[in-house]
Chains A and B, each alone.
Chain A
Amino acid sequence: MRVRAGPGPVLAVSAAIYVGAILLSGQAQYLLPENLVSVLGRAVALGLTAVGQTLAILVASIDLSVAALISASAVLASVVMDGDPAMVVPGVLAVLALGAVVGLVNGLLVAKARVNPLIATLGMALVIQGGLSAVVSNFAGAVPPAFQLLDQGSLLGVPAGLVLLLAVAAAASLMLNLTRFGSDVFAAGGNPEAARLAGIRTGRTVVGAHVLCSLCAALAGLYLAARLGSGAPWIGRDGVYDLESIAVAVIGGTVLAGGRGGVWGTLAGVAVFAMIDSLFNILGVDAFAKQVFRGVIIVAAVAAYAAGTRRLVA
């Protein structure tokens, strides 16, 4: 029986290294539960984005516009809310509407106009970022304190952001595994020709996956607006959410070619990155060295998953 690497072993190995390194450096106070929770809590924005990115990758597409969309969502939310608790609901609705529209355009470009997903979403990123920068050049508007509970509140001791992330991940996982749409996603990504012959409307599936992906990015923007108190046109770029969400999705076992992978694997990937960040902070190692480490991890994880396949990749 061939043992294939999966996100489980990757996460386990990373956790072991994390715990080991902390104990060796004599800073065991960082292993207290509240510290571990806070480590994950930092990665909420990345996690939300990555769940959406997973859906896009599952249909053999990709979304490079998420960082720009996150910035636009945060700015839109804080401008509409403008410190007024009564405007929280319209703000959230406006942002979700923006996400849906962007996802729709991305999906149509990829599925109907047959533009390469890399190019289509890269182009959209430029358009969104340009449009945003034309209107605002700094923090704009403000988020009312009530909305900031999304970042500062907690449910049963778990930070609100983490609760949101787990809820979204659970919903996505249920959707993928229990609904018709979910199985269409796997089919359309894994073998589009066969899916089409089987009667699946692959075009619609791809568009749907992109809409969901952009909605997740919009949620991440809302969360960041709550955390920072306002939105600015650079927060998406600062967090490098586009490339990092792809990285954690593939570390978590989702295959770029589509059709294989899942949301929980992606969260495992997010946890691995969060642990790397935290470990380097605690050990006081150069942030530059961390970059080298990250690059190697990404390639190593994907290589581990691909070990043994005979398929040629480009």
Chain B
Amino acid sequence: MKAIIAAMLAALAALPALAQNFDDPAEFAQQEAQLAATPMGPEGAPWEQYLEDSMVDTAAMAADGPGPYTVCFSNAGVNNPWRVVGWETMQAQVALQPEIGDFIAVDAEGSDDKQIADIADLVAGGECDILIVSPNTTAALTPAVEAACEALPVIVFDRGVNTTCPVTFIHPVGGYGFGIQGARFIAENVEPGGNVLMLRILPGVDVLETRYSAGRRILEEAGLTIVGAEFTDGDNAKTKSIVEDYIQRGQIDAVWMDAGATAVAAIEAFEDNGLDVPVFVGEDQQDFLQKWQQLGLTAIAPTYPTYQWRTPIIAAVRILQGEPVPGPEWVLPQPAITAGNLDQYVNPNMPPLHYAMCGCEGMPGYPQAWGGQ
């Protein structure tokens, strides 16, 4: 009995060490460099461009015959507007590729448990020529992806897994890059000693933690005062309430957010209290872009582009035809929307939570399939 208690206490004490490392200087430096790099690949099609000059030879994985192929997709879910836009974009890409005969997609509804079962089902069904996976979480899905790799070629995108068995892992620059873009902008526009409010969605989500750690590092290095780092749960009302409370307590010179879903709510907190909106970091949602243009804000919108949902389909067709693809990691460019190119992306005919960096203008079904007019 004592031994059990001792073991538990030891385990609890060791928890901080077990926690994933979200402050990796090497990764930070690499992403910083990638942000500045010139992409290779076709001009004007960032979803086909790549930042690291390394290709994978896929001749051995080519399918027998020219197609049409059956492409399978295990989707973590469509449980937030970013994924909804991405999913729509992916389906439009499939429509553009005559080489794909059958596109089988399964939705895991945000559950690791279900996604593990979904992948097992897709592999067991025997119909897939290639499998695309967007993992719900990294660690939990790794064994399922490894098992799938033994049966057919696998492409992973968005979040990764802890194995190198997939043919390629497609993703934009990354969380550190996102955090850097926003924080640098604030550092350039606010005097040292200025007050910054950092708003975050949830703790423990790897893609968000890296944004925060990079952002915080840069803001602190620039001599700015971080008056608070609050969790909003991604809830509009909560965000607005939190910002209102901070406004009451003192001047805010900049707001940094790790995602833009509740950016407009935060902006409205300033408006409702009769204040000017300070320097702002949002994201590429239409409602934020339109508010930015309308109020003439000093702002930037880093993006985690939804056009990355096009790339796995393109990669799948290439692999099945034996053509080389960037790999083992296909790093896509991760542009930010600035005052310079804002006009290109604002579109009042699209829904408020539509992500402008979708690369979907001109695709079949645009704009109605994405909810626009």
Instruction: In the complex, identify which listed stretch (B102-110, B221-229, B362-370) lies at the interface while the others stay far away.
Output: B102-110
Mark contacts of A260-278 with chain B using CB atoms, 8 A cut-off: 1 yes-contact digit, 0 otherwise. Answer: 0000000000000000010
The chain B residues found within 8 Å of chain A, CB to CB, are 3-4, 7-8, 11-12, 14-15, 18-20, 77-78, 104-107, 109-114, 116-118, 120-121, 124-126, 137, 139-140, 142-143, 203-206
The listed residue (A30, A42, A135, A139) touching B139 by CB distance below 8 A is A139
Question: Does A140 contact B111, Cβ atoms closer than 8 Å?
Answer: no
In the complex the two chains form, is B110's CB within 8 Å of A135's CB?
no
Partner of B18, one of A42, A79, A94: A79
For A309, what are the chain B residues with a Cβ–Cβ distance below 8 Å? none
**A87 touching B19 in the complex, CB below 8 Å, given contacts A42-B114, A233-B204, A281-B118:** no
A257 close to B (CB within 8 Å):
no
Kindly list chain A residues whose C-beta atoms are within 8 Å of the C-beta of B124. 34-35, 38
Residues A141 and B19 in contact in the complex (CB < 8 Å), given A230-B139, A287-B107, A287-B109? no
Binding site for B on A (CB under 8 A): 29-30, 34-35, 38, 41-42, 45, 76, 79-80, 82, 87, 90, 93-94, 97, 133, 135-141, 224, 227-230, 232-233, 235, 238-239, 277, 281, 284, 287
7 nearest CB pairs, A to B? A137-B204, A138-B204, A228-B140, A137-B203, A79-B11, A42-B117, A287-B107
Which residues of A have CB within 8 Å of B113? 42, 45, 224, 227-228, 235, 238-239
Tell me whether A138 and B20 are in contact in the complex, defined as CB-CB below 8 angstroms, given that A45-B113, A229-B142 are known contacts.
yes
Q: Inside 8 A of A232's CB, which chain B residues have their CB? A: 137, 140, 204
11 contacts between A and B (CB under 8 A): A35-B124, A38-B117, A41-B117, A79-B18, A80-B11, A135-B15, A136-B19, A140-B18, A141-B11, A141-B18, A284-B104
Query: Could you tell me if B7 and A87 are in contact, using CB atoms closer than 8 angstroms?
Result: yes
Question: In the complex the two chains form, is B8's CB within 8 Å of A229's CB?
Answer: no
Q: Determine if B4 and A229 form an interchain contact, defined as CB atoms under 8 angstroms apart.
A: no
Q: Are B19 and A235 in contact (CB under 8 A)?
A: no
Partner among B7, B15, B137 whose Cβ is within 8 Å of the Cβ of A136: B15
- Residue in A41, A87, A90, A238 whose beta carbon sits within 8 Å of that of B111 in the complex: A238
A93 touches B12 (CB 8 A): no
